[in-house]
Chain A
């Protein structure tokens, strides 16, 4: 049994039983598991310090912020679930990338990736990553 599966069974499993639910409600530190998922997914990119954490704060503040959400992301991390196997992780990770300058720099892996604020076509400085705005020569 590897560490992940062990923690999944012994850690998260017992945690669910032992800790009162109010702790999960009031513990912003649990969001770190969602951030870890992003860092693992993009381990090959140079993510600017603090950017992922700020994105996670913004993402969860803009969406559901409750006990179940926190538990879900902790479980995803410890169970080793990847973006390819979960729509919710896929959405979280995808919107992180859309919320950075990664596409503005034409996906240049050698550059530091900066978080620019939650992606929104109404507010974001990031254009549609497919569009002529970034690829006028096509």
Chain B
């Protein structure tokens, strides 16, 4: 370590940390001492590919398994995540729809939960900047307001998508995605392999292939294998960051401290630090996803060019959100959903239905006697979400009337959606939240708590674009 004290200490190297650091470096032209503490290692994409192919790699075994890092009280509910350089960018599937404007105003519009302290309008320029940094592919018309074209053209529709788009217009669009539709910035074009956690052709945006190079900046020092577990606080400030490396405890002083771990570990760090806000760790959860298989008569669902070919918003917005959850439709281009009946092998569409859930106090993170290991207490879904599922089942046959549907088959909800949310939610003051609109902790005024843990409500849309845009927004408004 170069210094005894740093101007900025950042925990983690995922989306939240990286986009924050990107903006911070732009805004601070003078020389700064910046320390990044990453709990995992640099595990290159090329080596991940070797392991997927069954080839020899010196990196085999380097990846922590998520279940070894937490105590998960509810074994039916899974919370997979990836640690190491790039965080969840090394396992995400690259879906980047924006939130709808209504997602930020759930109380005002529907009397549900609380409004976010930031609006869609506040975030709009940062959405656009994030989409440029990720080289997002997307259509000209979207159900959310947007200026100009996406950086890359949209992915190709399937035969089913064409019919749905003709019927529903901008309520059914080619999905905005960080899976490139054209080769760009060292990334290849998506080949619809539909196994995006480790992309076989390196088409999806990751921190590693981003070209953002924030960790190569001369001002930045990065330490791998350093797991932050608490902050040393004094009054309304955090003074030091405590971490473990190679089994030994360390501390380092910092002026500004940024927590960019995932929501589970951000909560754990605050709870280990003596944060006595009763909301810290509370309102934790994620969206619910379930698959619907659509058996088609005399129609092949062919021609798509990526994993999620389209998004449908027909069940998303509206006054129904006073009573039940919004649902975002993802149409999956999944090779493993073929049929075996003669002549009907590809007469199948598979829709993933994603429902918002509510941030309930009964779902929460606690710390444990082992300072490195948080406890996930998840006690179930909301009735709001369950009613959303029932509404979807009632409405979907009608919505699909433009297609030659033989039958629908609803699969059981997935044990995880891969979108971990809440625990350090944002709001106006410590009575209703953990952090403010700039993601600064209400009590510890030099601590930023980034990421989707800060989401006031959960939306039905994939969270990554929004959490990255929030990082740009907060760094831009704070320095």
Contacts and interface: CB of A to CB of B under 8 A. Distances in A.
Do A and B come together as binding partners?
yes
Interface of A: 41, 44, 83-84, 90, 93-94, 97-98, 103, 107, 119-123, 127-138
Contacts of A97: 338, 340, 345
Contact of B345 (A44, A129, A138): A129
Nearest to B159: A138
Given A41-B340, A90-B340, A97-B345, A130 B304 contact: yes
Nearest to A83: B340
Interface in B113-170: 156-159, 162
Contacts of B195: 121-122
Interface residues of B, number: 30
Contacts of B303: 130-132, 135-138
B193 A128 contact: yes
B471 to A, nearest CB: 31
B340 A127 contact: no
30 contacts: A41-B340, A83-B340, A84-B340, A93-B340, A94-B338, A97-B340, A121-B335, A122-B52, A122-B53, A122-B198, A127-B192, A127-B193, A128-B192, A128-B193, A128-B194, A128-B333, A129-B338, A130-B301, A130-B302, A130-B304, A130-B346, A131-B192, A131-B303, A132-B303, A132-B305, A135-B303, A137-B303, A138-B158, A138-B302, A138-B303
Q: When A and B form their complex, which 3 residue pairs have the shortest distance between CB atoms, in order from nearest?
A: A138-B303, A131-B192, A121-B193
Given A83-B340, A130-B301, A131-B333, 16 more contacts: A94-B340, A97-B340, A97-B345, A98-B335, A121-B193, A121-B194, A121-B200, A122-B49, A127-B192, A127-B193, A128-B193, A130-B303, A135-B303, A136-B303, A137-B303, A138-B157
Interface string B157-187: 1110010000000000000000000000000
Most B C-beta atoms less than 10 A away, residue of A84, A90, A97, A135: A135
Interface of B: 49, 52-54, 156-159, 162, 191-195, 198, 200, 301-305, 333-336, 338, 340, 342, 345-346
Given A127-B192, A132-B156, A132-B303, A107 B345 contact: yes
B464 to A, nearest CB: 22
B393 to A, nearest CB: 22
A121 B193 CA distance: 6
A127 B280 CA distance: 47
A94 B53 contact: no
Nearest to A107: B345
Contacts of A83: 340
B180 to A, nearest CB: 14
A137 B158 CA distance: 10
Contacts of A103: 345
Contacts of A123: 53-54
Nearest to A41: B340
Contacts of B191: 127-128, 131, 133
B304 A131 contact: yes
Contacts of A120: 53
A129 B346 contact: yes
A97 B159 CA distance: 22
Contacts of A84: 340
Task: Count chain B CB atoms within 10 A of each CB in A83, A94, A134 and give the residue with the most.
Answer: A94
Contacts of B162: 138
A93 B303 CA distance: 24
A123 B338 CA distance: 20
A122 B200 contact: yes
Contacts of B52: 122
Nearest to B50: A122
A84 B54 CA distance: 32
A129 B304 CA distance: 10
A128 B350 CA distance: 14
Given A130-B158, A130-B346, A132-B156, A94 B192 contact: no
Task: Indicate the member of B158, B198, B340, B346 with the most A CB atoms within 10 Å.
Answer: B340
Nearest to A43: B342
Contacts of B333: 128, 130-131
Contacts of A137: 303
Contacts of B346: 107, 129-130
Nearest to A123: B53
B60 to A, nearest CB: 15
B167 to A, nearest CB: 17
Contacts of A94: 336, 338, 340
A50 B228 CA distance: 56
A94 B336 CA distance: 8
Of the candidates A119, A121, A128, A130, the one having the most CB atoms from chain B within 10 angstroms of its own CB is: A130
Nearest to A98: B335
